[in-house]
């Protein structure tokens, strides 16, 4: 069993990432049927996907535990452009297309416009790859204290993180 599968198996009660969150990033149709576990089970699909959780009595023990984590990821063929990802030669999810969202902007142009135009210019345009790779670490520290949970995280949207963590853990907001 791969090391990441062992980590996920030892924490079976972790809920998966909710579809409602994923549907905000794409469409419900696109994310339905795709498994988004809190920890990788068998296959790492993208950079930054969580493979382990470290728990410690204090910071030093947690750091020692993190230093013990080692795993190897067998490489998959790279899909570095939308067209190579869309050809589905390497599928991220078995039996499902790699295309998670397809959209168009603007109004369709009537065929007569193309026929009557003095000049039609066609082109193919590439946009550079933008990778959401923040400078801060992808780490989180959570300390339960009675009925309170204090969370530290290098995160660009702290209020969204708070709201989604509360929903995921079943916490209700207390009146101040």
Express each pLDDT in 50-79 by its tens digit.
Answer: 888 888 888 899 899 989 988 888 888 877
Tokens standing for residue 163 = 């709201």
Structural domain for 59, as ranges: 1-76
- Quick one: pLDDT at residue 124? 82
Measured distance CA(140)–CA(72) in Å, rounded:
23
Same structural domain, 4 and 71: yes
116 pLDDT above the threshold of 80: yes
Measured distance CA(102)–CA(86) in Å, rounded:
11
Assigned domain for 142 exists: yes
Provide the domain count of the chain.
2
Least confident of 18-27, 33-42, 157-166: 18-27
Question: Domain end: 76, 105, 124, which one?
Answer: 76
Question: Domain end: 32, 61, 76, which one?
Answer: 76
Assigned domain for 54 exists: yes
Assigned domain for 88 exists: no
- Quick one: pLDDT at residue 133? 64
Give me the phi and psi of 49, to 5 degrees please: -70, 135
- Quick one: pLDDT at residue 153? 86
């Amino acid at each position: 069993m791969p090391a990441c599968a062992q980590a996920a198996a030892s924490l079976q009660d972790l809920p998966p990432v909710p579809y409602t969150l994923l549907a905000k990033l794409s469409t419900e149709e696109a994310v339905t049927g795709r498994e988004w576990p809190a920890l990788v089970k068998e296959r790492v699909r993208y950079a930054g996907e969580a493979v382990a959780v470290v728990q410690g009595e204090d910071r030093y023990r947690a750091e020692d535990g993190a230093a013990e984590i080692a795993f190897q990821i067998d490489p998959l063929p790279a899909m570095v452009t939308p067209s190579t990802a869309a050809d589905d030669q390497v599928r991220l999810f078995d039996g499902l297309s790699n295309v998670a969202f397809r959209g168009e902007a603007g109004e369709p142009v009537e065929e007569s416009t193309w026929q009557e135009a003095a000049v039609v210019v066609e082109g193919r345009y590439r946009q550079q790859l933008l990778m959401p790779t923040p400078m801060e670490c992808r780490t989180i520290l959570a300390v339960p204290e009675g009925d309170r949970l204090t969370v530290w995280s290098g995160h660009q949207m702290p209020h969204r993180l708070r709201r989604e963590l509360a929903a995921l853990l079943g916490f209700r907001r207390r009146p101040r």
